[in-house]
């Protein structure tokens, strides 16, 4: 259906037995199949996607209260829009007698925001003590191509989805965990006597990296890097060594470089606190 044009209708205009409010939301049983068949339906609720599917619609445009940095698998061609973007579609429908919309194939786009903690993820700073920063560990967990049970619904929130796949696009902590667990097993294999806390500390503090930090402390704050060389033969540098902030939520970048002798066969840990 790539590029195919379809009539665009509003849920409130294609009902026979529901109130306007319920029809806007595309509540179960509200859409008249004879009025939505072969059309794209606009719904004021993300759950309206399943009702549109059951009523025989070709596609759906639905309102979502969630943020726009993560997508979900649904059982039919659909777009989920935040309130301000949904209103543009509502205004379009109300301004013309024969509203139309196109269904196109999905496009792969580069996420220029990455790496960034997802909006649905738990993150700091600590609300009581701003100097305690979170999260402890981060890893990719948004829109991961993952192995999937062929007997499970492809779109888990829609019971009418009867498709079967071996791989699916998923987001969440369950996608984050495998890569971090592998790191934990690698450390444990080298240091079988280490406690879970020691392994966590190693994972948290091991890296040579560049990062952008946000001032979540006092408005006028200065942070200076301190390097403990007493337990390592590595040459560790931080550039710049000092970051000065003038306001809350101000962002600055730094680069940590760790250099070691090729003759040394050991693990080295470095971190920014």
Q: What is the radius of gyration, based on Cα positions, of the chain?
A: 26
- pLDDT value of position 268: 47
- pLDDT value of position 232: 63
Domain boundaries, the chain: 4-103, 109-205, 207-273
- pLDDT value of position 1: 63
Position 140 pLDDT exceeds 90: no
Burial of residue 8 (CB within 10 Å: 0-12, 13-18, 19+) is buried
CA end-to-end span of the chain: 53
Mean pLDDT (whole number) for 253-270: 60
Q: How far apart are CA 30 and CA 214, in angstroms?
A: 48
User: Which of 110-114, 156-160, 253-257 is most confident?
Assistant: 253-257
173: Cβ contacts below 8 Å, ≥ 6 apart:
121, 141
- pLDDT value of position 265: 46
- pLDDT band with cut points at 50, 70 and 90 for residue 263: very low
- pLDDT value of position 67: 66
Tokens of 186: 């690698």
Tell me if the pTM is above 0.85: no
Asked whether 201 and 235 are in contact (CB, 8 A), the reply is no
Strand ranges across the sheet with 40-43: 78-81, 59-63, 40-43, 4-10, 100-103
Tokens of 57: 């619609």
If residue 187 lies in a helix (H) or strand (E), which one and from where to where? helix 173-190
Q: How far apart are CA 134 and CA 119, in angstroms?
A: 14
Write out pLDDT tens, residues 177-209: 877 787 788 788 888 998 988 888 877 776 576
Write out pLDDT tens, residues 49-64: 999 999 999 999 999 8
Mean pLDDT (whole number) for 154-159: 80
If residue 178 lies in a helix (H) or strand (E), which one and from where to where? helix 173-190
Mean pLDDT over all residues of the chain?
83
Identify the architecture of domain 4-103 in CATH: 3-Layer(bba) Sandwich (3.50)
User: Which stretches does DSSP call E strand in 98-227?
Assistant: 100-103, 144-147, 167-170, 209-214, 221-224
- pLDDT value of position 69: 76
Provide the 3-class DSSP secondary structure of residue 259: strand
Position 134 pLDDT exceeds 80: no
Write out pLDDT tens, residues 57-103: 999 999 987 666 778 888 899 999 988 899 999 999 999 989 999 99
């Amino acid at each position: 259906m790539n590029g195919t044009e379809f009539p665009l209708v509003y849920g409130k205009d294609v009902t026979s037995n529901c109130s306007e409010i319920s029809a806007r939301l595309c509540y179960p049983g509200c859409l008249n199949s004879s009025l939505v068949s072969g059309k794209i339906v606009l719904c004021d609720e993300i759950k309206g996607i399943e009702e549109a599917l059951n009523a025989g619609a070709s596609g759906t445009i639905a309102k979502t209260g969630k943020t726009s940095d993560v997508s979900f698998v649904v059982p039919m061609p659909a777009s989920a829009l935040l309130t301000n973007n949904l209103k543009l579609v509502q205004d379009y429908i109300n301004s013309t007698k024969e509203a139309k919309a196109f269904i196109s194939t999905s496009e792969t786009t580069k996420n220029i925001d990455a790496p960034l903690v997802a909006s649905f993820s738990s993150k700091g700073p600590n609300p009581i003590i701003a100097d305690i920063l979170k999260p402890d560990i981060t890893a990719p967990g948004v829109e991961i191509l993952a192995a999937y049970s062929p007997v499970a619904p492809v779109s888990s929130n829609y019971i009418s989805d009867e498709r079967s796949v071996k791989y699916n696009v998923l987001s969440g902590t369950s996608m984050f965990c495998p890569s971090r667990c592998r790191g934990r097993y690698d450390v444990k294999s080298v240091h079988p006597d280490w406690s879970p806390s020691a392994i966590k500390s190693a994972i948290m503090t091991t890296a040579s990296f560049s990062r952008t930090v946000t001032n979540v402390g006092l408005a006028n704050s200065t942070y200076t890097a301190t390097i403990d060389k007493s337990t390592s033969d590595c040459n560790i540098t931080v550039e710049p060594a000092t970051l000065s902030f003038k306001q809350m939520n101000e962002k600055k970048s730094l680069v940590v470089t760790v250099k070691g002798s090729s003759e040394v066969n050991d693990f080295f840990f470095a971190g920014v606190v």
